Amino acid sequence: MAESEAKRELGARFGDRLVRGFPLAELTSFHIGGPADLMLAVEDEQELCDALEIADRCGLPVFHLGAGTNLLVSDRGVRGLVIRLGKGFERIDVMGTRIVTGAAASFGTLVEFAVKHGLAGLEFGEGIPGSVGGAIAMNAGAFGGEIASVVNAIHGVGQEGKRRSFDREEAGFAYRRSGLPSGFVVTMVDFELKSGDCEALQARVNELKAKRAARQPGSLPNAGSIFKNPPGKFAGRLLEAAGIKGMRRGGAAFSEQHANFIVNIGGARAEDVRALIELARNRVRERAGVTLEPEVRLVGDW
Ligand SMILES: Cc1cc2nc3c(=O)[nH]c(=O)nc-3n(C[C@H](O)[C@H](O)[C@H](O)COP(=O)(O)OP(=O)(O)OC[C@H]3O[C@@H](n4cnc5c(N)ncnc54)[C@H](O)[C@@H]3O)c2cc1C
C-alpha cells in the first residue's frame, strides 16, 4: 500500500523519467546485476530532496548508486528506488587552494583538474574509477593516500529529504568507509588542497599510473579490490598464499594477475562472484586464521 503510494507520487512528480525495471548490469563496472524496481536520475538538489522525502514518508527503500565501480548487485536486483545524480552534479570549481565539486563528477576528472591547477593532495586518486560521491562514501584511497585527508566539508541530503552538511571530523572517516548517516546522499564536496608545481604533480600521477597498470588486471570487467586489507597485512598476499589465483565459478574468476580481483570473464552472475568470495574467505580463514572483510559492497535482494 505504502509502496504503491510512493510509486504514484514519484510518477506524478517525475513522469516518465521514473523508469521501471532498469537493468543495473548496465551501470556497474562488473557488468553484473538484476533490475532496479524503480530508477531515477535527479538533476538538482530540490529533485533529490523531493524524491527522498516521498520515499521516506511512504517507507520505500532507497539505494543511492554512484558510478557502480565498487558494487556487486544481486541477480534478483534491487527492490524499491535506485537514485542516481545526473549531469547537474558534475560541476567543478576552483577558488585559490579550494576545489568545490559536484558529487557526480568523476574522481579521475577531479584529479586531473587539481593537477592542472597546481593543487596537491589528490594525486593518489589517479586510476581510481567512480564518482566523487562514491569516493567519499568509501573513503577511497591508494598508495598511502585517502580522500578523507583533503576534505573540508561535505554537503548533501539526508534520508528524510532535508539538506545537511558535515565537516571532515563529523563525517567519521575510517579505512574504506565514512561514518555519514545511513541514507545520506552526498551532492557536493569542498576540498582543501596545497599549492604545488604542475609538472611535479603530473610526474607523480604518471608514476602511480604505471604502478597501477603493472599490478591490476587490464580489460576484464571487475569492481577493484574484493577484500579490504586486514590490519598490517595485504589481502592479495593472503589470497595468493591460499592458492586462490585463477579459481573459477561460472563466468567469474579470481584474476591471474592480482589475487584480490575477481573478473567477469563472460556472463558471470552475482551468485558466481558471491560463491568465490565465500570460498576465498573460508580458505584464508583456514590457512591463515584471518577473516577477510569484503571491500566491494553487496547490494540488493540476495
Ligand atoms: C579497476 C578498479 C580499481 C579500483 N581501485 C581502487 C583503489 O585503488 N582504491 C579504492 O579506494 N577503490 C578502488 N576501486 C573501487 C571504487 O572505484 C571506489 O570505491 C569508488 O570510490 C566507488 O565510487 P562509485 O561512484 O563507483 O560508487 P558505487 O560503487 O556506485 O557505490 C559505492 C558505495 O558508495 C555509495 N555512494 C555512491 N555515491 C554516493 C553519494 N553521492 N552519496 C552517498 N553515497 C554514495 C553507494 O551507495 C555505495 O554504498 C577500484 C575499482 C575498480 C573497478
The pLDDT, as a whole number, for residue 232 is 94
Question: How is domain 89-200 classified at the CATH fold level?
Answer: 3.30.465
User: What's the gap in Å between 90 CA and the centre of ligand 1?
Assistant: 16
Ligand 1 pocket residues where CB is under 6 Å: 29, 64-71, 85, 103, 128-131, 133-135, 137-138, 140-142, 185-186, 216, 222-224, 297
Domain boundaries, the chain: 2-85, 89-200, 218-299
Task: Record the cell numbers describing residue 110, joined without a space.
Answer: 577531479
- 293 is annotated as an active-site residue: no
pLDDT value of position 218: 75
Where the chain has pLDDT below 50, the residues are none
Radius of gyration of the chain (CA): 20
DSSP calls for 65-99: -SSSSSEEE-TT-EEEEEEEE-GGG--EEEETTEE
Report the nearest atom of ligand 1 relative to the CA of 63.
47
pLDDT digits (tens, 9 = 90+) for 131-149: 999 999 999 999 999 999 9
Tell me, in angstroms, the distance from the centre of ligand 1 to residue 175's CA. Answer: 13
Q: What pLDDT, on the 0 to 100 scale, is given for residue 217?
A: 82
Handedness of CA 73, 264, 186, 150 (dihedral sign): positive
User: pLDDT tens across 77-130, in order?
Assistant: 999 999 999 999 999 999 999 999 999 999 999 999 999 999 999 999 999 999
**122-151: string of b/e by CB count within 10 Å (b at 16+)?**
bbbbbbbbbbbbbbbbbbbbbeebbbbebb
Q: Specify whether 225 is catalytic.
A: yes
**Pairwise CA distance, residues 155 & 102, whole Å:** 9
Output the CATH code of domain 2-85.
Answer: 3.30.43.10
277-289 burial, b if ≥16 CB within 10 A, otherwise e?
beebbebbeeebe
Q: Which fold has domain 218-299?
A: 3.90.78
**DSSP annotation of 60:** -
Q: Which of the residues 225, 249, 255, 281 is marked catalytic? A: 225
- In the reported structure, the alpha carbon of residue 135 is separated from the centroid of ligand 1 by a whole-number distance in angstroms of 5
DSSP β-bridge partners for residue 254:
262
Q: What is the pLDDT of residue 80?
A: 96
3 is catalytic: no
